[in-house]
A and B are shown apart, each in its own frame.
Chain A
């Protein structure tokens, strides 16, 4: 009886491990789906700007883990922030990103993503999906997607030519908060202002 229960325990452990490991193919297919939707439904789509913005918002909310990213970009200032500040920051950070990225649609018109496998990440439950975008002149631009496992797969970072958007944002925001008279509140105010411009 003891042996059987031990065996069952071992088996379940095996399955649990398998369930946690992020499948490379699954991650790559996920990014393929996201980029395809982005290109077909938004960038190259023949619809109004307002419709494009609405579709992009939906794409953004569905495929990015903004709670995770927002927490990361505040760095050490997340822990010292009140719950109200944390909520407010995530909300305004989302609005700000939707606004700034939607202005860049035309840059990507007619471009395609070429997929080049995946790379492992030292972070648990995460993996890098490698892509590149051919440009009109010069070498193709390397774009790497950091995918995180969970209830659903989500994107947590985009790395363009070795520059991580999450790390850049974190460096920027922590530097800003350090030298701002009212710290995080100033940052929230500034982001809100830029998002509503």
Chain B
């Protein structure tokens, strides 16, 4: 335990001193306290990833085939169908909700507990949805960008959505009220661990390219994360003004920012 604590402290010190590019961080007057926290937490996550998570993910990638990893991805994607079904319903997307239910039924049985996405082959495309999107539809504001320990970039609405959707996860209910059984701790920690590791392995190529092409990795990740969330803004706008919102990426090149 002491060793772990020492390691964490060391990582934090390293994180505070320099950013991943090696240049000294200088908090300018305008930089809010949140940004200072964000950069520090981002660096902590970056070091943790570099020294612990990424090596494990690389090992995982080495001992598995793409096909195996696809099975794992499918398995966890399938467990997210109930959440999609509920949120589609909450947004009035009845057809999509029904399709999510049908997909879950087909893939869990014929697809062998979700390992295979049989339903897509039958013309039932995935209609993913989340509580995050549901809140966005009802124009709940996103809130400021902040970096979570280990979990990475997020916003308040993102986090609330993530937590809410966790209650729709069948695995949560399978483990509920079964505290005494021996398989519970293994599944409770093993399953999210595997999901996380698999995701890390699958996004490695993309994240590596992103990092190589960036001089300020924190700013790049923040920009990409927030831009990706702009699609939620147009959901709210669309329900407010009938007639389609303009594309979120259609900015005027002459616009000055900040």
Contacts and interface: CB of A to CB of B under 8 A. Distances in A.
| Residue of B21, B205, B251 contacting most chain A CB atoms (<10 Å) | B251
Contacts of B27: 179
B216 A172 contact: yes
Contact of B258 (A136, A174, A191): A174
B223 A172 contact: yes
| Residue of A68, A156, A167, A172 contacting most chain B CB atoms (<10 Å) | A172
Contacts of A139: 126
A179 B31 contact: yes
A179 B28 contact: yes
A191 B227 contact: no
Interface in A71-123: 72, 75-76, 96-97, 100-101, 103-104, 107, 119, 121-123
B209 A103 contact: yes
Contacts of B214: 172
A187 interface: yes
Nearest to A72: B253
Contacts of B212: 100, 103, 194
Contacts of A173: 215-216, 219
A187 B21 CA distance: 12
A123 B246 CA distance: 12
| Residue of B219, B246, B254 contacting most chain A CB atoms (<10 Å) | B219
Contacts of B219: 171-173, 175-176
B4 interface: no
Contacts of A100: 209, 212-213
Interface in B210-258: 212-216, 218-220, 222-224, 227-228, 230-231, 246-254, 256-258
A11 to B, nearest CB: 31
Contacts of B73: 137-138
B222 A171 contact: yes
A190 B21 contact: yes
Interface string B14-34: 000000010111111011000
Interface of B is mostly: loop
B155 to A, nearest CB: 16
Given A136-B66, A137-B70, A123 B223 contact: no
A191 to B, nearest CB: 6
A180 interface: yes
A40 interface: no
Contacts of A178: 28, 30-31
A194 B223 contact: no
A55 B246 CA distance: 36
Contacts of A180: 23, 26
Interface in A158-192: 159, 161-164, 167-168, 170-176, 178-181, 186-187, 190-191
Contacts of B253: 68, 72, 123, 126, 156
A104 B207 CA distance: 12
Given A137-B70, A176-B219, 16 more contacts: A76-B258, A123-B252, A136-B66, A157-B249, A161-B228, A162-B231, A163-B228, A164-B249, A164-B251, A171-B257, A172-B214, A172-B215, A172-B219, A175-B222, A176-B216, A181-B26
13 contacts: A100-B212, A107-B209, A122-B252, A136-B70, A157-B249, A163-B224, A168-B227, A171-B257, A172-B220, A174-B257, A175-B216, A176-B219, A190-B21
Closest 5 CB pairs of A and B: A171-B223, A175-B219, A100-B213, A172-B219, A176-B216
Interface of A: 68, 72, 75-76, 96-97, 100-101, 103-104, 107, 119, 121-123, 126, 128, 136-139, 144, 156-157, 159, 161-164, 167-168, 170-176, 178-181, 186-187, 190-191, 194
